[in-house]
Amino acid sequence: MTPATISNLISELLDETLVMEKGNLEEDRRRAGRKSVALAFHPNACNTLAVHMNAREVQIGLANIHGTVQTLRRYEISLESGQSAFIERLISEIDACIAESEEVTIAAIGLGLVGLVHFESGTYLSKDHLGWKDVPLAALLRERLGLPVYIDNNIRTMTMGEKMFGAGRTLTDFLLIYIGPGIGSGLVIGDRLYRGGSTGAGEFGHMTYNPDGPICHCGNRGCLERYTSLTAIASELDALDEEELLNRVRQSDRQAHEAVSRAGRRIGTVLASYLNMFHVPKVMVAGPLAEEGSPLLEEIRRELYDRSYLARRERVEVAASELGENIGLIGAAALAQWNEVFEHRRLG
Ligand SMILES: [Zn+2]
């Protein structure tokens, strides 16, 4: 690019207040033309409000252009209170967060939601345990909050978080698997998140592990999730809850270690079939059990390389996500930033 082209591009970014001048640069030697000027991202550029919803709670945070999030709120979802009470509470909590953040300009709101979401129309399709059906959530929030709103499934938003702010930045194709109370995944192909049809794609947890296994809430039998989610592992161990399971794993309890290893082998079995079909160079694993050195990752790798000749021949890397426990909020922020700032998308 010529210096003139660069100047033109920079002045566009200055006009859009994405960058700002930080004064003249000291120069060792005299040069002709305009003095060199240091630039920085404008502190008000691309701030987004991120909302992450899992099966139990809602988290709300403020994120900057680098995907650094500050958690502002978290509250438990009351399953009894119904759909309109949930939405009213959500609006009032988001409203309060916007009021608290008055010194920054919020470009958009991104929401990562548990269950089926149609991203294009902004519709929350269903969440079985909430008993909802086809709620035009994005339009509703946009109207009440007066800001652009984007919604998607929470594991797909985490995958966008990996693409924008995690190890996925340098990868064209990768898979993210999240292991929590349920199991989900997101797939990036050709630098873009693959969304599939209107109900989405990436229901890794509902791939069949055992054809004759127990009935799953999705209608299938023997889904992987029934054997390997945190809930499933905890119940195998007669642990009180997932917190007790995680404590026992941290304390290197032998039975807990074995149960997590078993879950890793089961995930690796299904992953091998998946990767024979969709060979990607890297699989990132996220969730409380996904740490480097954990039996979960070791067993996933072992099983994968035993079973998939493609994964063996052209090594598929399996690694823990580096986004940490804020992955949900980082993902929701990525959804908003990607669509509002980079794609200039305006959903109807
Ligand atoms: Zn299922």
pLDDT band of 130, cuts 50, 70, 90: low
Q: How far is the CA of 191 from the centre of ligand 1 (A)?
A: 28
Residue 241: phi, psi to the nearest 5? -160, -175
**Can you tell me the distance from the alpha carbon of 217 to that of 219, in angstroms, rounded to the nearest whole number?**
5
| 35 pLDDT higher than 70 | yes
pLDDT digits (tens, 9 = 90+) for 68-117: 999 999 999 887 778 888 899 999 999 999 999 988 999 999 999 998 89
Per the model's pLDDT, the better-predicted residue between 197 and 152 turns out to be 152
Q: How far is the CA of 204 from the centre of ligand 1 (A)?
A: 9
**Can you tell me the distance from the alpha carbon of 215 to that of 222, in angstroms, rounded to the nearest whole number?**
6
Among residues of the chain, what percentage have pLDDT more than 70? Answer: 95
- State the average pLDDT over residues 299-321: 94
| 347 pLDDT higher than 60 | no
Query: Of 9-23, 200-214, 282-296, which range is least confident?
Result: 9-23
Q: How far is the CA of 216 from the centre of ligand 1 (A)?
A: 4
Per the model's pLDDT, the better-predicted residue between 86 and 175 turns out to be 175
Q: How far is the CA of 320 from the centre of ligand 1 (A)?
A: 24
Q: How far is the CA of 219 from the centre of ligand 1 (A)?
A: 6
- Inter-axis angle of helices 83-100 and 137-145, nearest 10: 40
Residues bordering ligand 1, an ion, CB closer than 5 Å: 206, 216, 218, 220, 223
Q: How far is the CA of 127 from the centre of ligand 1 (A)?
A: 13
CB of 175 within 8 A of CB of 224? Answer: no
Mean pLDDT of the chain: 90
Q: What is the pTM (predicted TM-score) of this model?
A: 0.90
| 338 pLDDT higher than 90 | yes
Instruction: Give strand ranges (E) for the chain.
Output: 19-24, 37-41, 47-53, 57-63, 69-76, 106-113, 116-118, 123-127, 132-135, 149-153, 174-179, 183-189, 192-193, 282-286, 317-320
Q: How far is the CA of 235 from the centre of ligand 1 (A)?
A: 17
Determine the pLDDT at residue 63. 96
Determine the pLDDT at residue 157. 97
pLDDT band of 128, cuts 50, 70, 90: low
| 225 pLDDT higher than 90 | yes
Determine the pLDDT at residue 27. 63
Q: How far is the CA of 170 from the centre of ligand 1 (A)?
A: 33
Per the model's pLDDT, the better-predicted residue between 111 and 218 turns out to be 111
| 3 pLDDT higher than 80 | yes
- Domains annotated for the chain, with CATH where assigned, are 47-158+327-342 (3.30.420.40), 170-321 (3.30.420.40)
Q: How far is the CA of 230 from the centre of ligand 1 (A)?
A: 15
Q: How far is the CA of 15 from the centre of ligand 1 (A)?
A: 50
Q: How far is the CA of 318 from the centre of ligand 1 (A)?
A: 24
| 31 pLDDT higher than 80 | no
Q: How far is the CA of 340 from the centre of ligand 1 (A)?
A: 33
Determine the pLDDT at residue 153. 94
